[in-house]
Amino acid sequence: MGRVTVPRRVLRLRQGVPSHRPDTLAAEEPMEIRVGGRPLTVTMRTPGSDFDLAAGFLVSEGVLHAAHQLAGIRYCAGATADGGNTYNVVDVVLAAGVPAPDASLERNFYTTSSCGLCGKASLDAVRTTAPWSVAEDGLRVTPALLAALPERLRAAQKVFDSTGGLHAAGLFDADGRLLCLREDVGRHNAVDKVIGHALREGLLPARGTVLMVSGRASFELVQKAVMAGIPLLAAVSAPSSLAVDLAEESGLTLVGFLRGESMNVYTRTDRIDTGTDTEG
Could you report the per-residue pLDDT of 196-234, keeping only the tens digit for each?
A: 999 999 999 999 999 999 989 999 999 999 999 999 999
Quote the CA–CA distance of 226 and 151 in Å, as a whole number.
Answer: 24
| pTM of this structure | 0.87
Mean pLDDT of 109-128: 46
The residues assigned a catalytic role are: 115
| 169 contacts: CB under 8 Å, gap ≥ 6 | 181, 182, 187, 190, 191, 193, 194, 211, 212, 213, 214
Domains of the chain: 30-116 (3.10.20.10), 143-271 (3.40.140.10)
Mean pLDDT of 236-255: 94
CA-nearest of 37, 25, 59 to 188 is 59
Share of the chain above pLDDT 70, in %: 84
